[in-house]
Amino acid sequence: MIIANECVDLFPQIHVFKFLTTVFCTLTWIPGQCNQTLTNRCYEGLTTLPNNMPLSAVEIHLCSNNLTSIPDQAFSSFLSLTIVNLNHNQISNIIGQPFPSTIETLDISHNLLSSFPPQAIQGLPLLRELDLSNNQISTISHNALNGNTVLQHLDLSNNQILDFPVGANQGKSTLVSLDLSRNLISDLTSHPVTNPLLTRLDLSHNQIGTLNTQQFVDLIKLDCLNLSHNMIEVLPAFLFYNVSRCLDYGNGLTLDLSNNKICVIHPDTFGNRIGPIMFINLDNNRISCIPDFTFSNFGILYLFSIRNNELTLIFGEALEMHEVFDSPDIVFALSGNIISYIPANFTAFMPGFIYLLDLSNNEISTIHPQARLNAFFEVNLSNNRLTCLPDGFFQNHDGFWNMMWSIEWKSAVNPSARPH
């Protein structure tokens, strides 16, 4: 059995094993593949690899020690070895090819590597998961991933990487999930991001400022794209081309563009070559207007959030969505803007069933009598500047209503506007 206190599934689906103490680790292997299970051999404060490890080991965990270097052929004699965990050491150098060809999972996270060690992982035809997060890696050679024909999960987060790794961007790449969050990537325009097998891509917390037309191409299975906490200002036309096209109506793309500097959204940013979108987050940007029909190709929608921007006026046509799949709990979050007026037919082009509309913390002083806010089950208008509501505001509601408003004007609602 494996002796561990926790198995954490970190984005993007890379399994990291955290073990019982910070001063020793345990050699383990799977019953049936060897005659015994070693659970009480402690290696305290290791600075070099121990020389008495049993060659029948299937998994070797030497985490949380003081290892500084991995010699060439260090593990080559372990013919059944599938998992090596070397996280939380002080490794700054990996020499030659220390790992056998049987390795499937390799964790060298939380070390001091300054460069991606391509020679260390080449010749590992079974390698599926590689975690190099929390190092000091700044460069990745173009051929770094050559020879790894089944690698699916790669975590390079929390490094100092300057450029998107070309090897992860090729059509022949087998990567399913790629985490490049918390690096120093500033430019994606040199190469479009294209990998038909990729389902999850995390580029959050970088320094990306500019995106090209068709920046994301042929990511037909992508279901999660995180571009939050960058410096993006403009979303160009057809930013996503042939993206998420293989997702069915039970799934959709989760797109996070929050905490950027976005001030311009082209009407064709989400053109007709993008698959269904389930969640989109545009919070904490500088968006002041949304062009008509910008989001008409979403297909599926559960959450549309554009909180804490600079919207002054929003028209229903901007949120028109054709052929919206049956989404029982659609949420539109528009709080924290500077919207002052809700026009007539505000919801005319929106999906037929919307659960929550959040317009709190705006500057709304007027609601048109024909705004048709009765399309929503819940409406939050708290912390605005309303002094009265139009006559018949609560009439003709087919479902349950939960109207939230601030205490300052609740008593000032016209009697004819109140529900009966």
Which of 244-248, 317-321, 361-365: highest mean pLDDT? 361-365
DSSP string, 310-321: ------GGGG--
Residue 198 near residue 184, CB atoms below 8 Å: no
Distance CA 353, CA 351 (A): 6
Amino acid at 247: L
Q: Tell me: the pLDDT tens digits for 35-86? A: 332 322 445 688 998 888 888 889 999 999 999 999 999 999 999 999 999 9
Q: Is 339 strand, coil or helix? A: coil
Q: Tell me: the pLDDT tens digits for 368-382? A: 888 877 777 788 899
Return the domain boundaries, the chain. 1-176, 186-286, 312-420
Distance CA 261, CA 25 (A): 45
Distance CA 140, CA 400 (A): 56
Q: Name the CATH architecture for the domain at 1-176.
A: Alpha-Beta Horseshoe (3.80)
Distance CA 108, CA 183 (A): 17
Distance CA 105, CA 59 (A): 9
Amino acid at 101: S
Q: Sorting pLDDT into bands at 50, 70 and 90, what band is 169?
A: low
Q: Tell me: the pLDDT tens digits for 260-286? A: 999 999 888 887 667 777 889 999 999
Q: Do domains 1-176 and 186-286 have the same CATH topology?
A: yes
Could you tell me if residue 103 is left (phi over 0), alpha (psi between -120 and 50 degrees) or otherwise beta? beta
Residue 292: other Cβ atoms inside 10 A? 14
DSSP string, 204-238: -SS---B--TT-EES-TT--EEE--SS---EE-TT
Q: Sorting pLDDT into bands at 50, 70 and 90, what band is 8?
A: very low
In this prediction the pTM is 0.84
Distance CA 160, CA 148 (A): 23
Pairing state between β 376-380 and 402-404: parallel
CATH fold group of domain 312-420: 3.80.10
Q: Tell me: the pLDDT tens digits for 86-129? A: 999 999 999 999 999 999 999 999 999 998 888 888 889 999 99
> If one looks up domain 186-286 in CATH, what number appears?
3.80.10.10
H or E element, residue 69: strand 69-70
Residue 177 near residue 154, CB atoms below 8 Å: yes
